[in-house]
Chains A and B, each alone.
Chain A
Amino acid sequence: MSREDVLVSAAWSEENLNAPGVVFVEVDEDTSAYDGGHIPGAVKIDWRNELQDPVRRDFVDRAGFEKLLSAKGISNDDTVILYGGNNNWFAAYAYWYFKLYGHDAVKLLDGGRKKWELDGRPLDKEQVERAETTYTAQEQDLAIRAFRDEVVDAIGNKNLVDVRSPDEFSGKLLAPAHLPQEQAQRAGHIPSAINVPWSKAANEDGTFKSNEELAEIYGEAGFDGSRKTIAYCRIGERSSHTWFALHELLGHEDVKNYDGSWTEYGSLVGVPVELGSGKEA
């Protein structure tokens, strides 16, 4: 798989805003950004209210995803270009989520909303209307989604990549530093995990680093290319960004995202938890 198959640049995007069969989708946790100005023609997906089950902690089911994409005017034949704020965290999460439900023609706008804004490219507040479609989703592809039991079983034998910040990994912080810190779960990380913060994969402007730089970063941190891999963070969105780097850019074959992540693992009774940098031994 080449980089062009999974990533598009801001320049390419601006030239293809009206290309037939291409749909731009902004994905965010806080959709006020979209409402204040979005890429012309882009529709929005609300990460919290549209991709998550409103009651249980899980995703909307296959029928729910079909209903959502149909209502957004996205068809099975469309190429979906995803972008968003927070360095594309939620867009990367949506990318993984689209793949989970079998939509192959999906790409990330490299650098997301941040690169677009820093470049001074156009945003507008036009109401975007797309004709409803009849979208058909596949069953979830569980080859890319990890659950808690397989995470516990992976200790010591798969690459466990903790992509949170070093202070979250060591147990000093319980959430990224733009969020309040008073959380229910225990602090720390899964034993044998390596810590490669998601941000290592990104340049300051939000674009992904080159494949050569990425290979060096994960290699230096102890990533073993011969092993299977599970990436996790706090709620599974930053680890989608790293899943993208490892699976889509570097082409590692067996890489799963653990969307339960630390908010689940750190609340489990009886599982092992390690504190500190993980490098003392």
Chain B
Amino acid sequence: MSLDGCGAPEQGVDITVGANEVVLSGKVRSDGAPVGGAFVRLLDASGEFTAEVVSSADGDFRFFAAPGTWTIRALHRSGNGQASVNAEGPGVHPVEVAVA
């Protein structure tokens, strides 16, 4: 799998996104390879836990959030990692999280 696609996660386009939905969507990777079965936690601007999903076999995750700055933290038996994303308004906001 090429890393060129990092900015545009495939799975973000295969759902119907409501006009007002703020979607944070992307992949968990380790050394570039997708990590399935990671626990992906959405933390708000103050670091408070908001939601959690398990990444798909292809490493995909998706949150329905609100405008703002969010941290996405992934936990996996192979390691943990996090990334931040600023969602200014409705739409699909891509984000990648590397675990090590």
**Chain A proximity mask over B43-77: 1 for CB below 8 Å, otherwise 0:** 01000111111100000001111100000000111
A119 near B77 with CB under 8 A, answer yes
Closest Cβ–Cβ distance, residue B88 to chain A (whole Å):
16
Cα distance, A86 to B53, chains bound together (Å):
8
Interface 9-residue window, one of A45-53, A170-178, A259-267: A170-178
A117 near B37 with CB under 8 A, answer yes
Q: A205 touches which one: B21, B62, B65, B75 (CB < 8 A)?
A: B75
Q: A114 touches which one: B39, B42, B62, B63 (CB < 8 A)?
A: B39
Chain B residue nearest to A120 (CB atoms) is B77
Most chain A CB neighbours (cut-off 10 Å) among B21, B41, B49: B49
Q: A167 touches which one: B20, B62, B66, B77 (CB < 8 A)?
A: B66
A-B contact number at CB 8 A: 63
A257 on interface, CB distance cutoff 8 Å:
no
A180 near B52 with CB under 8 A, answer no
A181 near B49 with CB under 8 A, answer no
Closest 3 CB pairs of A and B: A177-B51, A199-B49, A178-B51
Chain B residues, Cβ within 8 Å of A173: 65-66
Residues of B within 8 A of A (CB): 18, 20-21, 37, 39, 41-42, 44, 48-54, 62-66, 75-77
Most chain B CB neighbours (cut-off 10 Å) among A177, A197, A205: A177
Chain A residues, Cβ within 8 Å of B77: 117-120
Chain A residues, Cβ within 8 Å of B63: 177-178
Chain A residues, Cβ within 8 Å of B20: 181-182
Cα distance, A33 to B65, chains bound together (Å):
24
Chain A residues, Cβ within 8 Å of B64: 175, 177-181
Chain B residues, Cβ within 8 Å of A114: 39, 75
A87 on interface, CB distance cutoff 8 Å:
yes
Chain A residues, Cβ within 8 Å of B75: 114, 118, 204-205
Assess A180 versus B66: contact at CB under 8 Å? Given A166-B48, A197-B48, A204-B41: no
A236 on interface, CB distance cutoff 8 Å:
no
B21 near A180 with CB under 8 A, answer yes
- In the complex, 13 of the A-B residue pairs with CB atoms within 8 angstroms, ordered by the A residue number, are A85-B54, A87-B52, A117-B39, A118-B75, A165-B50, A167-B44, A167-B50, A177-B50, A178-B52, A178-B53, A180-B18, A182-B20, A199-B48
